[in-house]
Amino acid sequence: MDTMSSASTGAAVGSPGSASAQANATDSSVEEQVPGPKLAPGFAAKLNLTVDLALMSVVLTASAWLDGLLFAEPGWLLPALILTSLVVWIITGTALCLYDSRFAERSKLDHVALVSVTTLAVVTVLAVVNLALPETLKVPGLVPLLVLFWPVALLLRLFVFRQVASQERPTNSVLIVGTGAFGRYSGEDLARRGRSELLGYIRFNDDTGSIGELPAKVLGTVDDLEHILRNTAVDEVYIAGNTLKQGEAMQASIKLAERFGVPFALPAHTFRLDRARPVNVAAVADGFLHFAAVSPKPHQMAMKRLFDICVSAVALWMLLPLLAFVALAVKLTSKGPIFFKQYRVGQNGKPFYMLKYRSMVVNAEELKEKLAALNEQSGPVFKMKNDPRITAIGRFIRKFSIDELPQFINVLRGEMSIVGPRPPVPTEVAKYETWQRRRLSVRPGLTCIWQVSGRNQISFEEWMYLDMQYIDHWTLTSDLRLLLQTVPVVITGRGAS
């Protein structure tokens, strides 16, 4: 865990800032890309939410009827319990982005974890209420919520609503290099499949295809590709060129995608085939061979995600008293909100809101420009050992990384991982050299090699090289080792400021 980007990590959500024009431009452009905090965007999500709330109400009512409590006194108790359960479900679902725009692209494992955690939140609250009520009163539905509501809600989500959501909106942002016949056909095929959003086309300098027939706009030429990749969140680049005529430009595009760490696809067949078919059709279903800048390791990645879900869910429940105490301390010791929600750049350049406890004064951004000359960190990151903007409680929680604990929610959402490169702010990414952008090719994390190697005591360039080392040599074993090494660093506060 880090104290990265201390220029703004303590500013309040929605507080005015006076960063440079470049920073403002970058932040505003990112803000347009980040979806708003909607509970259930899309028809499938709204329908799923409605069914879940109705199902919970029915289960609680039926449970009360079977227990003979449906018309028991006081008459307001059952409606109050149902309302409380629905409110807890909505609040927890909102925090975990249970119905957000990534509804369809989440794995089944993620859905199981999120529905389970949200159900447990409702059961926990009802159990606490049950303990607080007199012995003559009883809270119905605790067991039925676990043995009836949970499996039914989960099965409906996995096999009904998830399928409906998959037809609603694209999940991947794709760029096509090449406006010839092959590029045009590839764009039409992606649109037909419906799971990719075609951002636009990049034209080879010698392309002569009809631009008017393309299914998306032309964003520029191959000479503009680096600028476009630097300023656009792209999941994959399709290089749809003719290897005989445009081989050199295709090679340059490949090298650029590799340096940025962006996955790319190449034509599977150099020559036109009339009758012949590849032996393994599934490998080239869309006519392209797909490549990634990181080793796939699908089984290990699945285990990594399972580990993230289990650890973050358990940590949030076990640390609940500490989280509540810190929230109270932040609120009582300084003016401003308890939490700080900041734009960070995630995997493949996609922005998200990272959560922290507020550790700075509310006008931290305004004070940053006055302190710019005192920056003690090389590169685009701003750091000061004795930053005067940090509050009294903020200095303590930053030293021991307690301010980072709300990010376990980001991990549950799938925006972050337990172990991975720390997510940067957009203004830092705008100043990255091309090779440094490759650190965005993996999911960002709470801790990585930098955190156990001195944190603020090492230079920015060394930090970037350490992240590249992690990406190139990642294994489950290395994640476990880094996590174990992080524990004493957090306990002692070594290298933090």
DSSP 186-227: HHHHHHHH-SEEEEEEEE-TT--S-GGG-SS-EEEEGGGHHH
d(CA 401, CA 52): 36
Q: What is the distance between the alpha carbons of residues 108 and 236, in angstroms, rounded to a whole number? A: 23
At 303-358, the pLDDT tens digits run 888 889 888 888 988 898 999 999 999 999 888 899 988 899 999 898 999 999 99
pLDDT for 11 equals 44
pLDDT in tens, 394-435: 989 988 889 999 999 999 888 999 999 999 999 889 889 988
In angstroms, rounded to a whole number, what is the distance separating the alpha carbons of residues 452 and 442?
Answer: 19
269 token code pair: 């067949």
pLDDT of residue 496: 59
* Mean pLDDT across 251-280: 81
Indicate the pLDDT class of residue 123, thresholds 50, 70 and 90.
very high
Cβ-proximal residues to 187 (8 Å cutoff; 6+ apart), any chain: 176, 198, 201, 214, 215, 216
Pair 49, 103: CB distance under 8 Å: no
Q: What is the pLDDT of residues 202-214, one digit of tens each?
A: 999 887 665 568 8
* Burial (CB count <10 Å: 0-12, 13-18, 19+), residue 150: buried
Q: Which residue has the higher pLDDT, 218 or 385?
A: 218
Q: In Å, what is the CA distance from 361 to each residue of 8, 9, 325, 333, 370? A: 10, 10, 19, 11, 15
| Mean of per-residue pLDDT scores for the chain | 82
CA distance linking residue 39 with residue 50, whole number of Å: 12
pLDDT value of position 31: 37
3-state secondary structure of 250: helix
Q: What is the pLDDT of residues 65-122, one digit of tens each?
A: 888 777 777 878 889 999 999 999 988 888 888 887 667 778 888 899 889 999 999 9
Per-residue pLDDT of 34-71, as tens digits, reads: 444 456 667 888 899 999 999 999 999 999 888 877 77
Report pLDDT for 56: 95
Q: Tell me how far apart the alpha carbons of residues 227 and 256 are, in angstroms, rounded to a whole number.
A: 11
**Residue 379 C-alpha from the chain's centroid:** 25
Cα 317 vs. chain centroid, distance in angstroms? Answer: 21
3-state secondary structure of 283: helix
Domains of the chain: 21-36+297-492 (no CATH), 43-165 (no CATH), 172-291 (3.40.50.720)
State the pLDDT at residue 480: 92
Q: How far apart are CA 98 and CA 118, in angstroms?
A: 9
Q: Tokens 């329908």 identify what position?
A: 47
Give one word for 460, left, alpha or beta, with left for phi > 0 and alpha for psi -120 to 50: alpha
pTM of this structure: 0.69
Asked if pLDDT for residue 296 goes beyond 80, the answer is no
Mean pLDDT throughout 290-306?
81
